[in-house]
Structure 1
Amino acid sequence: MALSYTELNDLSGKILKASYEVHTALGPGLLESAYKECLFYKLFQSGIIAEKEKPMPLIFEEVKLECGYRIDILVESQIVLEIKSVEAISDIHRAQVLTYMRLGKYKLGYLMNFNTVSLKEGIKRFVL
């Protein structure tokens, strides 16, 4: 069931709050997997339904390919969270989030780079 615009915004606020809590506690410099696990845990603690490493099949014409693509965290079956811990976000990272959103028909996505002094600088929001 699709969330309303207001519900998506409220959920986004909770996701961002949890993300900031994780970053404040851990700081930059860890592996992506550490941030992903901790964020998943914080979302679960908040009562938010999320799936970790959600498989993303590729459908080309009549062929469904299980290529091993995985969304880091899918929140409430509607919001894509792609977690990174890199020196800088690149165009390929942005394209990855947009591709997942397009293939899964998701309207909202976040690219989060936890390897920043201020997490605010590492979050990019995407809307389709």
Structure 2
Amino acid sequence: MTENEISRLILDAAFKVHKALGPGLLESAYEECLFYELKNNDLFIEKQKPLPLIYEEVKLDIGYRVDLFVEKKVIIEVKSVESLNDIHLAQILTYLKLSNCRLGILINFNVTLLKNGIKRVVNNLQEN
């Protein structure tokens, strides 16, 4: 399954969760419900996956955690904030670089229209 196919399933699940719950809940509630919906689509999901920082030969287990890691290809960062800002984009881009993934989806559930809370973030990896 490609990143684009996975992202379509993710967005469908996110819209379903947002329609059922609306804005105003904690991130953890949306994350758990999104995890449930994606699992029902028979996707391999890792929740709160530890992400070490590797610098040259040094591996630092310093507490970075990816909210949801789908099919080992797409990172989902769940937010419930007044508005997304540059630090949220920087966070998911850093996670993409550290994990060598191409696609991340930043979802802010604390909006009236979910389409206004979704950012697709692409890591332009070099092909080897």
Bucket of the pairwise TM-score, normalised by the shorter protein: over 0.9
Could you list the runs of 4 or more consecutive aligned residues of structure 1 that deviate by over 2 angstroms after TM superposition? none
Letter in 2 for 1:88: S
1:38 aligns with 2:49: no
Aligned residues: 123
Q: TM-score, normalised by structure 1?
A: 0.94
Q: Deviations over 1:79-125 (max 9, x none)?
A: 00000000011111000000000011000000000000001000000
1:124 paired residue among 115, 119, 124: 119
Partner of 1:16: 11
Give % identity. Answer: 56
Query: What is the Cα deviation at residue 11 of structure 1?
Result: 1.4
Aligned alpha-carbon RMSD (Å): 0.8
Q: Deviations over 1:14-52 (max 9, x none)?
A: 110000000000000000000000000000011111100
Partner of 1:106: 101
Q: 2:46 aligns to what SS in structure 1?
A: strand
Partner of 1:71: 66
Unaligned runs of 5+ in 2: 124-128
Letter in 2 for 1:59: I
Q: Quote the Cα distance in structure 1 between the aligned partners of 2:43 and 2:64.
A: 23
